[in-house]
Amino acid sequence: MLTDEMELVSVDDHLIEHSMVWQDRLPSKYLELGPRIVETTERTTNFMGGSAEAGSEVWQYEGRIYHQIGLGATAGRPTEEINTDPVRFDQMRPGFYNSKARLEDMDLDGVKVQLCFPSFARFAGQTFLDGQDKKLSLLCVQAYNDFVLEEWCAAGPDRFIPMIILPLWDPGLAAMEMRRSYDKGARAVAFVENPAPLGLPSFHTDHWDPVFNVAEETGLVMCTHFGTSSKPPITAEDAPIAVRIALYGCNLMYATVDLLYSQVLHKHPQLKFALSEGGIGWIPYIVENADYIWERHWYHSKLNRDIRPSELFRKHFWGCFIEDEHGLAARHEIGVDRIMWEGDYPHSDGPWPNARQHVADMMKDVPDEEVQQIVEGNARKLFSFPRTA
């Protein structure tokens, strides 16, 4: 069971970039084109189906409009008030976008450490792939990373695991940005679950080797949040949004098999992937099936024959869950040392402000030493983020 000495380390949360993240950091000639908050003058719609009334606060970047989606800013709101409409900063709790206030919300929640993905920048920084001016895109990526490393995490160096984004359009630049950020304290990279749907070379090329080489050298963990291929699991255009929300975990199944059957893990034996927000209950099925299909189809599919996919998985992957009764029951099949917990603050699927009670309830029949691994130890080890004295 969960004991008082255990500190909750959540490995999937979200920060909402405040309005000055880029305006504070971009060179003056880019302030107009770079990301800034504007009020809309007419109704607009976004890719999640939400619509914005005139007068909404939205991001403007190179003239394009990006909504702040309501599903990303819901902690503490009742189910009936959760929707995909955009939200204004004055409708949000300060903890959504201010890291000092975030610390207070974490204290309320009983959470010691968070690992925060971006929001406007998208979970792996895909927004800056949209940029027409790639010089500006690179400055935007660096500005975000400097914001995370120097501002967001500085409010609590023992409370936030520093995670950066990459200039996804150029693996050489990405490798340089990883080194630059690692030297400033980065421990994790928000990386894409699958580059191919983004129009980038797939994991079945050597395109990403510069990125993976630096990840191996530095120990930076590649955190692939579901949805970072920018390809949602849509069954039908007229299906309720909840269908894709419930199926997003399939994106991580795709990522897992795609990587297991690629050469990536054979070429980069030190690489570490953390699969974010997809739960863990699917892992035994996918990994067992990956072995089964590998045994039958390795020849015509030209798969590596030396290492079983299940062995690769146990070496290279970590999963996490908010609530996953089946996954927790199957923890010994998955590997207790591969499982972490997440609070998903301030999204609609997290337990805030009751994380500690929520975790205690889930874990009441799990032996203490396994709870310690899942809620704290595995994450601290994976991200090289030990307790401070």
97 lies in the site for a copy of itself, by CB under 8 A: no
Distance (Å, whole) CA 7 – CA 9: 6
Distance (Å, whole) CA 194 – CA 180: 24
Count, residues near a copy of itself per rule CB under 8 A? 64
Sequence-ordered list of residues with C-beta below 8 angstroms from that of 204, at least 6 positions apart, any chain: 262, 263
76 lies in the site for a copy of itself, by CB under 8 A: no
**Contact predicate 86/68, CB 8 Å:** yes
336 lies in the site for a copy of itself, by CB under 8 A: no
In angstroms, give the least distance from the CB of 332 to a copy of itself: 11
**Contact predicate 294/303, CB 8 Å:** yes
In angstroms, give the least distance from the CB of 115 to a copy of itself: 21
83 lies in the site for a copy of itself, by CB under 8 A: yes
* Closer of 5 and 238 to a copy of itself (Cβ): 238
Phi, psi of 147 (to 5 degrees): -60, -50
Pick one of 296, 364, 381, 387: the residue that binds a copy of itself (CB under 8 A). Answer: 296
**Contact predicate 172/207, CB 8 Å:** no
351 lies in the site for a copy of itself, by CB under 8 A: no
Distance (Å, whole) CA 226 – CA 253: 10
207 lies in the site for a copy of itself, by CB under 8 A: no
Per DSSP, what are the bridge partners of residue 45?
Answer: 51
203 lies in the site for a copy of itself, by CB under 8 A: yes
389 lies in the site for a copy of itself, by CB under 8 A: no
Sequence-ordered list of residues with C-beta below 8 angstroms from that of 238, at least 6 positions apart, any chain: none
- The stretch among 170-178, 211-219, 317-325, 361-369 that binds a copy of itself (CB under 8 A) is 317-325
- The stretch among 104-112, 147-155, 209-217, 323-331 that binds a copy of itself (CB under 8 A) is 323-331
Pick one of 51, 202, 357, 384: the residue that binds a copy of itself (CB under 8 A). Answer: 202
Distance (Å, whole) CA 74 – CA 76: 6
- The stretch among 89-97, 163-171, 243-251, 358-366 that binds a copy of itself (CB under 8 A) is 243-251
| Residue type present at position 173 | L
60 lies in the site for a copy of itself, by CB under 8 A: no
Per DSSP, what are the bridge partners of residue 60?
Answer: 36, 65
Strands 64-66 and 57-61: antiparallel
**Can you state the angle between helices 134-146 and 171-183, rounded to 10 degrees?**
20
In angstroms, give the least distance from the CB of 364 to a copy of itself: 18
266 lies in the site for a copy of itself, by CB under 8 A: no
335 lies in the site for a copy of itself, by CB under 8 A: no
249 lies in the site for a copy of itself, by CB under 8 A: yes
242 lies in the site for a copy of itself, by CB under 8 A: yes
Rg of the chain, C-alpha, whole Å = 20
Pick one of 64, 100, 135, 204: the residue that binds a copy of itself (CB under 8 A). Answer: 204
239 lies in the site for a copy of itself, by CB under 8 A: yes
| Residue type present at position 271 | L
With 0-12 CB in 10 A as exposed, 13-18 as middle and 19+ as buried, what is 32?
exposed
126 lies in the site for a copy of itself, by CB under 8 A: no
How many CB atoms are closer than 10 A to CB 55? 11
Pick one of 133, 150, 288, 369: the residue that binds a copy of itself (CB under 8 A). Answer: 288
Residue 274 belongs to what H/E stretch? strand 273-276
333 lies in the site for a copy of itself, by CB under 8 A: yes
Q: Under the rule (CB under 8 A), what is the footprint of a copy of itself? A: 79-80, 82-84, 194, 196, 202-205, 233, 235-243, 245-247, 249-250, 253-255, 257-258, 261-262, 279, 281-282, 284-286, 288-290, 292-303, 323-327, 329-330, 333, 348-349
